[in-house]
Amino acid sequence: MILPKLSAAILSMALLGSAYAAPNIDPDTSLDQWVVMSGATNGAADALGASEEDLDKHRTTARAHLTRYATEHGAQIEQFEALFERGMIEGKKLVEDRASLASVKGQNAISGFRHDISIDYETVKDALDT
């Protein structure tokens, strides 16, 4: 379940395009919640017309970095696919429900999404450690 405190972060991320750019993330955000936010980035980009190839690359990058982070910190992400899919639905819905905002911020969201496709692990690690 997506915690209510993440709703603003998911909306912000969906409009910024990057799960790792969301401001004021609670330091106690779980890895599962990061997976949901990454999925929301993907869903928002899908709603804004990103290609299937880019959506797949983004998912692969998110999985690799979040799984690596979990392993390095003695944790596991047991349901990556289900959590990512949940985030995709939420991100897509947020963009579609706020079409007027998305049309203004659409290019920023796609730029942030493209950044996350090839984001380096250290940047993700720094965001998760904040």
Tens-digit pLDDT profile for residues 104-119? 455 667 777 888 899 9
Angle among Cα 45, 49, 54 to the nearest 5 degrees reads 60
Residue 23 banded pLDDT, cuts 50, 70, 90: low
Residue 99 banded pLDDT, cuts 50, 70, 90: low
Angle among Cα 47, 123, 82 to the nearest 5 degrees reads 45
Instruction: Check residues 102 and 63 and name the one with the higher pLDDT.
Output: 63
- pLDDT, residue 68, reads 96
- pLDDT, residue 98, reads 72
User: Does 5 score more than 60 pLDDT?
Assistant: no
- pLDDT, residue 106, reads 59
- pLDDT, residue 25, reads 63
Distance between CA 48 and CA 107 in Å, rounded?
9
pTM listed for this prediction: 0.81
Tell me the one-letter amino acid at 104.
Answer: V
Instruction: Check residues 5 and 34 and name the one with the higher pLDDT.
Output: 34
Q: What is the CA radius of gyration of the chain?
A: 13
Cβ-based neighbours of 35, under 8 Å, separated by 6 or more: 62, 66, 77, 80, 83, 84, 87
DSSP class of 17: S
User: Does 85 score more than 90 pLDDT?
Assistant: yes
pLDDT in tens, 30-84: 889 889 888 988 988 898 889 999 999 999 999 999 999 999 999 989 899 999 9
